[in-house]
Structure 1
Amino acid sequence: MVKAVVAGASGGIGQPLSLLLKNSPLVDELALYDVVNTPGVAADLSHISSKAVVTGYLPSDDGLKKAFTGADIVVIPAGIPRKPGMTRDDLFKINAGIVKGLIEGVAQYSPKAYVLVISNPVNSTVPIAAEVLKKAGVFDPKKLFGVTTLDVVRAETFVASITGEKDPQKLTIPVIGGHSGETIVPLFSQATPSVEIPSEKLDALVNRVQFGGDEVVKAKDGAGSATLSMAYAGFRFAEKVLKAAAGEKGITEPSYVYLPGVPGGDVIAKTVGVEYFSVPIELGPSGVEKAVDVVSKANDHEKKLLEAAYKGLKDNIAKGVDFANSPPPQK
């Protein structure tokens, strides 16, 4: 019996993500948690003829405890969306507090669950989650993931549009670093099957992968950010974690993890100079079974991109750690 939790289930990412999880044969029980509308979302989804039993909880009546208790996997898309002109950093203060509270719930009620953080800014919210779990004495670095799959999905899609590949999912493109702007580094040189990107299109392609979120915010004209594609990406990663947990072998996908705490991560951490970093990880029943070193094979163009990523990540990580250890006073 697999129990999945979506924390932030009523939002723009949470609803389509919950729909995808409800439809998954890997999920037996789906618990939805949010501050508004969750019983209605749960009732709606419960009419779908798939096996997962759906429940919805609000903060009242011990809702957090009921939702999280016994969870095998907790996916956290909770938070406010990005608005036009708003950077991921602008979201920080609000979303950081939301994530901190939810992770305190994980620590108390489902400390052994796989935890997938989608809430932006991921570069900072994952370190916040780690600090909270450390304080509670339940931190397992192999089970804490920052979901960066949307960057991978965009890379696959955008490259396919250049190369003519009809099925973008046939491409494997490592996208590493972080999950915002210049911290996102696509390694097109390590794509399989190999791809030829015309030199005159390379810079624009890198920029589009790094700032694809802005494209969506602009196109939605103030009505939201990347919700449907993020829900798909979050589900794709969650499904891989669940398949690996069930014993399927050979599953690898990039994710933003605490490198010193995962097998193979120490060597990469020394190279990149930061403790949190997204690299391809081999998944298994224990979570991260191995971090794959693709950094050392980066070409000269990619190494320049990585230098900018390291700088941005250092600041983002420090911000998250500081927030977790000294949160601003509640108003």
Structure 2
Amino acid sequence: MSRKKITVIGAGNVGATTAQRLAEKEMGDVVLVDVIQDMPQGKALDILESAPIYGYDSRVYGTNGYEETRDSDIVVITSGVARKPGMSRDDLLKTNAGIVKGVVENIKKTSPNAILIIVSNPLDAMTYVAYKTSLFPKHRVIGMAGVLDAARFRTFIAMELKVSVENIHAFVLGGHGDTMVPLTRYTTVAGVSVEELIPKARLESIVKRTRDGGAEIVNLLKTGSAFYAPSAAVAEMVESIIKDKKKILPCAALCEGEYNIKGLFVGVPVKLGENGIEQIFEIKLNAEESAALKKSAEAVKTLCEQVGKLL
């Protein structure tokens, strides 16, 4: 049985850490691509030289071109400029749309059957760009956001209750940004609703911190954005696809009527298996949750309309 081939485009902090996590988990052979001369080759070699110590046999390659990526099973796109303090995800729109479009045009030629996982920001709009550029079927274009947002939500709940993060199942819907919708009603600690365990005002502040999770780290780092948790989120998605685990994970998926959303990529719970998105799960929302999700989808729509003019 031949190993799977996973390409990671962009060898910055997110991309390189993703490549490291995938290699360590032996998800397959990893190709790390970046436009900066020699940089992905250096990082790939460094990751490869960890293998004897960590005990994995994944091969890791670095390249400045796309020939080495040919026939990839999964392509993770992290390319683009990172957020700087005071910069909104929307400021990134024009620059990153051009970068993602160029990357996808290359991948379409070399790996026409690949599953795309988009990490570049603004996430929902960049996933839309990848979908429109690739013309791949919708189940093979996925945005990484909800897994990260849910992980942040779970972290803060675990800190509040002083319990294991493994006991917490969190639910986050909507766009990746200020309008995301962490659903407290469906978030549980060992099966018990978090609403029963944390006072309402305190829970609201945790929800707010989750929404601002990316910005909080940007402001602390001053010269970059989060990469440990985002790369962990990508690794979980890749593992569910490669091993056909069929995990239910919140991902940016193309909705065509689900949750009354049409033609937009927004965060919804999906079943991730060997074919990519195998099912979108529709859960019952109350009036308040539906209104919040609608507002989030409208924000995504505005970005997609802006980006549509650039394509």
TM, length-normalised to structure 1: 0.85
Residue of structure 1 equivalent to 2:174: 177
Residue of structure 2 equivalent to 1:267: 258
Question: Distance between the aligned counterparts of 1:17 and 1:278, measured in 2?
Answer: 21
What are the equivalent positions in structure 2 for 1:15-54 lying under 5 Å apart? 15-27=16-28, 29-36=29-36, 37-49=39-51, 50-54=56-60
Report the Cα offset of residue 176 of structure 1. Answer: 0.8
The amino acid of 1:236's aligned partner reads E
Question: Distance between the aligned counterparts of 1:103 and 1:303, measured in 2?
Answer: 33
The amino acid of 1:311's aligned partner reads E
- 8 Å contact 1:65–1:105 — kept in the other structure? no
- 8 Å contact 2:241–2:275 — kept in the other structure? no
**SS of residue in 2 equivalent to 1:234:** helix
What are the equivalent positions in structure 2 for 1:272-287 lying under 5 Å apart? 272-273=261-262, 275-287=264-276
Report the Cα offset of residue 118 of structure 1. Answer: 0.1
TM, length-normalised to structure 2: 0.90
Residue of structure 2 equivalent to 1:231: 231
Question: Distance between the aligned counterparts of 1:35 and 1:5, measured in 2?
Answer: 14
Structure 1 unaligned blocks of 5 or more:
261-265, 325-331
What are the equivalent positions in structure 2 for 1:303-318 lying under 5 Å apart? 303-318=290-305
Question: Distance between the aligned counterparts of 1:253 and 1:73, measured in 2?
Answer: 17
The amino acid of 1:84's aligned partner reads P
- 8 Å contact 2:6–2:74 — kept in the other structure? yes
Report the Cα offset of residue 305 of structure 1. Answer: 2.4
Report the Cα offset of residue 303 of structure 1. Answer: 3.3
The amino acid of 1:54's aligned partner reads V
Consecutive aligned runs of 4 or more in structure 1 exceeding 6 Å deviation:
none
**SS of residue in 2 equivalent to 1:323:** coil
Structure 2 unaligned blocks of 5 or more:
none
- 8 Å contact 1:88–1:180 — kept in the other structure? yes
Question: Distance between the aligned counterparts of 2:293 and 2:206, measured in 1?
Answer: 16
2:73 aligned with 1:77, yes or no? no
Residue of structure 1 equivalent to 2:186: 190
The correspondence for 1:157, drawn from 136, 141, 155, is 155
Q: What is the CA RMSD across the aligned residues, in angstroms? A: 1.6
Residue of structure 2 equivalent to 1:7: 9
Report the Cα offset of residue 164 of structure 1. Answer: 2.8
| 1:216-262 superposed Cα distances (whole Å, 9 cap, x missing partner) | 11111x22111222122222222222222xxx3x41101101123xx
Using a 3 Å threshold, how does the CA distance of structure 1 residues 162 and 304 change in structure 2: closer, same or farther?
Answer: farther
Question: Distance between the aligned counterparts of 1:159 and 1:56, measured in 2?
Answer: 39
What are the equivalent positions in structure 2 for 1:251-266 lying under 5 Å apart? 251-260=247-256, 266=257
Residue of structure 2 equivalent to 1:327: none
- 8 Å contact 1:273–1:310 — kept in the other structure? no
Report the Cα offset of residue 300 of structure 1. Answer: 4.3
Question: Distance between the aligned counterparts of 1:20 and 1:277, measured in 2?
Answer: 26
| 1:45-93 superposed Cα distances (whole Å, 9 cap, x missing partner) | 11122111111101xxxx2122x20100111111111100100011112
Number of residues of Structure 1 aligned to a counterpart in Structure 2? 297
| 1:158-205 superposed Cα distances (whole Å, 9 cap, x missing partner) | 122223322x133221211111111x1111101242222311123212
Residue of structure 2 equivalent to 1:292: 281
Report the Cα offset of residue 129 of structure 1. Answer: 0.6
